[in-house]
């Protein structure tokens, strides 16, 4: 039912439309020369005025504005470039100063280290010398003592032997023969006692 | 009356009849929209060029973008020699564009949908380009009709074809713009008429069509102005830099 009404409406309207078109079919108004002269006149007038005003007043201004902006931007870019360069130079300077001072500090440190090392070495050497000397002295003393000790021991051995002999046998024996025996013994057994 | 799609192109007198001699130069609706378009262009570009700030406002940006757009179009197609004709091509492009665009507003009149208007513009361009060509190259401009590298046997035919194509330039230029405008607006009117006659029940389809057509027509309005201007540039290029 609704469908039927819809189609009826559509067809009725189309029919109506056709009637309207048929009733009012005229030619193209564009081909009616009634107002051609008027259109040409007004076109020339308006377009002429538009052209004159645009070309004499407005377009030069726009072009000048664009040029000005371009140059201004260019200037700004150049200024920024200059500042960047100067800042870069300053940064370089700063870096140089830092690296120089680092080097200096390194040198000072090295020098100080060397000085200290030299001093230490010198002191060490003198100390070593002193120690060596003292060691030598002591060794000499020890050697002296060693030598003296064997003689003393021999003496003591001779004396004790003669006294023992006196007490045991009751007679005095020639000390030179005792000393010869003791010397002989000590020479033979000296190694055992003194470790030489 | 409203259903006839051609009534929108009718020219009628506004105000009294003005006559100079035998010529009727009365102010009509066509004249009104020529004046309106020109005034709109002048107002917008005057505002856009008034003060120069480093960061342009919207109107200034519009003016400057249009300026660079047209200047790039000219330098791309006609080279640096076409610089003196920049103002003319700029005015032409803006005039056609604004007339087309004002025509897109409902109940307005489309100036460029009249063959006489587009033909006068095209004829002026044609005559101007021809005069420039003859001034720049003298009779050497006639070499335009003799393309190089064509066999001598074919030359008479080619020359005739070239001359016909050259002479048909104003016709093709004017008819292209006029026909595009007229056809588009007629289509919109027809679909608008369908919306009314089919009513609430069946009118939605033509209505959606109408909406889509409006977008298309705005595109066409810009495109035809661009084509008109760029063809002018190409003709000017032929006259300034003789390639053949």
Average pLDDT over residues B109-133: 94
- 8 Å CB contact between B102 and B33: yes
Average pLDDT, chain B: 91
B16 reaches A (C-beta below 8 A): no
Average pLDDT over residues B105-119: 93
Among A100-104, B124-128, B140-144, B157-161, where is mean pLDDT lowest? B140-144
* B35 pLDDT more than 90: yes
More confident residue, B122 or B145: B122
Q: Give CA–CA dist B51/A151, Å, rounded.
A: 129
Q: How far is B113 from chain A (nearest CA, A)?
A: 8
* B8 pLDDT more than 80: yes
What confidence score (pLDDT) does residue A8 get? 55
The tokens for A95 are 């870096």
Name the closest residue on chain B to residue A56, using Cα atoms: B87
Average pLDDT over residues B219-240: 94
Average pLDDT over residues B183-188: 92
| Number of Cβ within a 10 Å radius of residue B10 | 17
What confidence score (pLDDT) does residue A192 get? 64
Q: Which of A6, A41, A64 sits opposite B25 (nearest CB)?
A: A41
A43 reaches B (C-beta below 8 A): yes
- Which B-chain residues 103-122 have CB contacts (< 8 A) with chain A? 111, 113-117, 120-121
**Alpha-helical runs (H) found in B150-203:** 155-167, 169-202
Q: How far is CA B149 from CA B152, B158, B160, in A?
A: 9, 11, 16
More confident residue, A163 or B237: B237
pLDDT grade for B85, boundaries at 50, 70 and 90: very high
Q: Which residues from chain B sit within 8 angstroms of residue A34, using beta carbons?
A: 11, 24
Tell me which residue of B107, B115, B73, B98 sits closest to A46, measured CA to CA: B98
Check CB contact under 8 Å for A50 and B178. Answer: no
What confidence score (pLDDT) does residue B23 get? 87
- What is this model's ipTM? 0.91
Q: How far is A100 from chain B (nearest CA, A)?
A: 46
Q: Which of B42, B114, B202 sits opposite A39 (nearest CB)?
A: B114
Best probe of the B interface among A18, A29, A44, A67, by most B CBs < 10 A, is: A29
- 8 Å CB contact between B146 and B155: yes
- Which A-chain residues 51-110 have CB contacts (< 8 A) with chain B? 51, 53-55, 57-59, 61-66, 68-69, 72-73
- Which B-chain residues 125-144 have CB contacts (< 8 A) with chain A? none
What confidence score (pLDDT) does residue A168 get? 83
Q: Give CA–CA dist B207/B218, Å, rounded.
A: 17
* B103 pLDDT more than 60: yes
| Number of Cβ within a 10 Å radius of residue A28 | 14
What confidence score (pLDDT) does residue A191 get? 63
- Which A-chain residues 16-35 have CB contacts (< 8 A) with chain B? 16-17, 20-21, 24-32, 34-35
- For residue A101, the cross-strand partners are none
Check CB contact under 8 Å for A24 and B1. Answer: yes
Q: Which of A31, A34, A66 sits opposite B67 (nearest CB)?
A: A66
Specify the pTM. 0.71
Give the distance from CA A22 to its chain's centroid: 94
Check CB contact under 8 Å for A46 and B37. Answer: yes
A4 reaches B (C-beta below 8 A): no
What confidence score (pLDDT) does residue B6 get? 84
Check CB contact under 8 Å for B197 and A37. Answer: no
SS3 assignment, position B23? strand
More confident residue, B181 or B7: B181
Best probe of the B interface among A47, A48, A63, A72, by most B CBs < 10 A, is: A47
**What tens digit of pLDDT does each residue of B150-159 get?**
888 888 999 9
Mean pLDDT by 10 residues, chain A (196 residues): 55 48 61 89 95 94 91 94 96 96 95 95 94 93 84 81 81 76 75 57
Average pLDDT over residues B229-236: 94
Dihedral, B112, B117, B120, B121 alpha carbons, nearest 10? -30
SS3 assignment, position B234? helix
Q: Which of A21, A47, A62 sits opposite B91 (nearest CB)?
A: A47
Q: How far is A109 from chain B (nearest CA, A)?
A: 59
């Amino acid at each position: 039912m609704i469908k039927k009404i819809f189609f009826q409406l559509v067809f009725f309207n189309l029919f109506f439309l056709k009637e309207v078109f048929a009733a009012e079919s005229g030619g193209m108004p564009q081909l009616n020369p009634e107002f051609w002269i008027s259109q040409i006149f007004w076109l020339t007038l308006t377009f002429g005025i538009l052209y004159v005003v645009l070309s004499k007043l407005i377009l030069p201004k726009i072009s000048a504005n664009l040029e000005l902006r371009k140059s201004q931007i260019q200037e700004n870019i150049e200024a920024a470039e200059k500042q960047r360069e100067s800042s870069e130079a300053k940064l370089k300077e700063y870096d140089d100063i830092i690296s120089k001072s680092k080097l200096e500090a390194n040198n000072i440190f090295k020098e100080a280290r060397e000085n200290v090392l030299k001093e230490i070495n010198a002191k060490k050497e003198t100390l070593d010398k002193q120690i060596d000397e003292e060691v030598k002295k002591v060794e000499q003393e020890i050697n002296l003592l060693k030598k003296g000790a064997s003689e003393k021991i021999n003496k003591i051995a001779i004396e004790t032997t003669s006294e023992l002999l006196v007490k045991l046998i009751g007679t005095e024996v020639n000390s030179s023969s005792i000393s010869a025996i003791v010397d002989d013994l000590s020479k033979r057994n000296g190694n055992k006692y003194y470790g030489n | 009356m409203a259903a006839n799609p051609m009534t929108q192109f009718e020219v009628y007198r506004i105000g009294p009849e003005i006559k100079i001699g035998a010529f009727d130069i009365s102010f009509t609706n066509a004249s009104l929209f020529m004046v309106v378009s020109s005034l709109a262009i002048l107002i917008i570009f005057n505002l856009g060029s008034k003060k120069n700030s480093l960061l342009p406002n919207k109107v200034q940006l519009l003016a400057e973008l249009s300026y660079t757009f047209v200047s790039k179009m000219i330098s791309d197609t006609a080279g640096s020699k076409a610089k003196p004709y920049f103002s003319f091509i700029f005015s032409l492009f803006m005039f056609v564009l604004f007339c087309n665009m004002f025509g897109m507003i409902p109940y307005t009149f489309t100036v460029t949908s009249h063959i006489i208007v587009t033909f006068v513009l095209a004829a002026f361009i044609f005559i101007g380009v021809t005069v420039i060509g003859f001034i720049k190259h003298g009779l050497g401009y006639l070499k335009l009709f003799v393309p190089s590298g064509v066999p001598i046997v074919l030359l008479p035919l080619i020359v005739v074809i070239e001359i016909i194509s050259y002479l048909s330039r104003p016709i093709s230029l004017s008819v292209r713009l006029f026909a595009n405008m007229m056809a588009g607006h007629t289509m919109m009117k027809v679909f608008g008429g369908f919306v009314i006659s089919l009513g609430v029940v069946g009118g939605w389809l033509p209505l959606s069509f109408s909406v889509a057509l409006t977008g298309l027509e705005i595109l066409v309005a810009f495109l035809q102005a661009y084509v008109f201007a760029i063809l002018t540039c190409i003709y000017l290029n032929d006259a300034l830099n003789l390639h053949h």
